[in-house]
Amino acid sequence: MAMMTAQEAREFLTGFDHGSHPLAVEYLNVALDRLLVTMDLVPNMDSGARVLELGATPYFMTSLLLHHFPYQLELANEPGREKYDGGTVRLTNRGRGLDYSFQYKGFNIETDRFPYDDGSFDMVLYCEMIEHLMHDPSHSLYEIHRVLKPGGYLLLSTPNPFRYTNYLRFLAGTNIYPPFSGYGPYSRHNREFSAAELRLLLKQSNFEIETLITAHDPAYDHPKRLDGAMRWLHRRGFFREKMDVIHLRARAKERPIYRYPPELYLDVHAFQRIVNDNIEMGVNDEAQLGTGFYKLECWPPHVRWTERKAKAKLLASGHKLLGLRFYSGPKELARRVAGTVVVNGVDNRFDVGAGEWAELRFPVPEPGTGHVDVELKLDQSWVPWEVLGMSDTRPLGVAVQRLWLE
């Protein structure tokens, strides 16, 4: 079925009872173009493919999907004060004889576990939402990946902070930050992401981007004298990532991973999401490390130096042993490297030579379920400036590569 023109889509959507409300029409005037661009990115999948639409209200995308594709839709919305867990919505277009009824779920996408089983969906729509989040977009991407089937699609759209109109506003001395909203903190744009940041965030969350474009959107405020020229240049390959809205389609690879790249997050140790029984530096480390670890380094392998004390957490279910692999430090230390590994409050001593890769195992105290708390305490730290004559003045412990339960 050929996609609707903008005029056809407007007539179709305003024909629904909910779409004819003045506030809905006002929203449609702003959103129509980006809805149509997103529709162009929807892949052709098997009939009956399961699709989750996050932030479905006011159901314009829902209506377009129902019209164009034979997919099975599930809807989710931000929880309301009275209906936190969800509710029912009815979409009726009497002129076309259409009448749909949906049970939608309500949950917070950056704090809650999505109420769906692993591998439930062939596609998730995540449109005009990530810019509203305040705390942890990585959680939403982890959960989207978790509920997608292997190779399932993610469709994402979001305003582009590097749109050319922002440059003009900045030069004119006008603030480029979004205004506040009377509907609360989630109703405003709290953090807009550039194309480069989205590439980083999705790659580290184990998605592979198939398509990423920025599109001109007439709903944005464009200077009339420049707009025609900018669109002409964009069509000819200039300013590829300087238009109003970023649209992308990505696919879920292998397994979901929590990643908190330091380019996007401060105080990473506070974003603890204990979902793995192992921590491998450079793979799934940030979400389960506590205080006492320095930034990631790749020698290879990927490692993180500790301070004299460092903490971590692992998810346990009947495990009996904790494994720890680390580099003890340069031979120039000329001493034994000793300390204590505290596992759920129980001390375990270790003593290894300098210049060694050590792989140690310690018992996990009963009951051996839930979270395993690990604290690494070195008897002594060392400073590269003092030992090796380097400019590095950090007090270091050992360079950890992996922690795991078995």
pLDDT of the residue at 135: 93
Please, what is the average pLDDT of the chain? 94
pLDDT of the residue at 232: 86
1 domain residue, yes or no: no
pLDDT of the residue at 83: 60
Helix (H, G, I), strand (E, B) or coil at 114: coil
What one-character DSSP code corresponds to residue 277?
S
**Average confidence (pLDDT) over 363-391:** 93
Residue 82 confidence class, pLDDT cut points 50, 70, 90 = low
Write the pLDDT tens digit of every residue in 105-116.
Answer: 999 999 999 999
Question: pTM, whole model, 2 decimals?
Answer: 0.92
pLDDT of the residue at 79: 87
Give yes or no: residues 40 and 80 share one domain: yes
Edge-to-edge strand list for the sheet holding 369-378: 309-317, 369-378, 337-343, 346-352
Write the pLDDT tens digit of every residue in 178-208.
Answer: 899 998 889 999 999 999 999 999 999 999 9
**Average confidence (pLDDT) over 155-173:** 93
257 domain residue, yes or no: no
Q: State percent of the chain over pLDDT 90.
A: 83
* Distance separating alpha carbons of residues 102 and 72, to the nearest angstrom: 11
Residue range of the domain that includes 129: 6-252
Give yes or no: residues 192 and 338 share one domain: no
Q: Which residues contact 215 (CB under 8 A, 6 or more apart)?
A: 33, 34, 37, 243, 244, 245, 247
In the chain, the number of structural domains is: 2
**Average confidence (pLDDT) over 320-343:** 97
Write the pLDDT tens digit of every residue in 128-144.
Answer: 999 999 999 999 999 99
Residue 391 confidence class, pLDDT cut points 50, 70, 90 = very high
In 3-state terms the chain splits into helix, strand, coil percentages (rounded to 5) of: 25, 35, 40
> Which among 224, 252, 280 is the end of a domain?
252
pLDDT of the residue at 86: 85
Amino acid at residue number 9: A
* Distance separating alpha carbons of residues 377 and 391, to the nearest angstrom: 25
Where b means 16+ CB within 10 Å and e means fewer, 127-149 reads bbbbbbbeebbbbbbbbbbbbbe
Give yes or no: residues 72 and 187 share one domain: yes
> Which among 201, 217, 252 is the end of a domain?
252
264 domain residue, yes or no: no
Helix (H, G, I), strand (E, B) or coil at 198: helix
* Distance separating alpha carbons of residues 102 and 57, to the nearest angstrom: 12
Q: How far is CA 103 from CA 13, 61, 82, 172, 215, in A?
A: 20, 16, 16, 48, 33
pLDDT at 234 over 90: no
Residue 354 confidence class, pLDDT cut points 50, 70, 90 = very high
Angle at 34 between CA 31 and CA 36, to 5 degrees: 105
Residue 269 confidence class, pLDDT cut points 50, 70, 90 = confident
Residue 80 confidence class, pLDDT cut points 50, 70, 90 = confident
260 domain residue, yes or no: no
**Tally of CB atoms within 10 A around 167:** 12
Which residues lie across from 88 on neighbouring strands?
103
43 domain residue, yes or no: yes
> Where are the strands (E) in 137-206, listed by range?
148-159
Read off the CATH number of the domain in which 352 is found.
2.60.120.260
Residue bearing tokens 């950056």: 110
Residue 81 confidence class, pLDDT cut points 50, 70, 90 = low
| β-pairing verdict for 72-77 and 50-54 | parallel
Give yes or no: residues 153 and 205 share one domain: yes
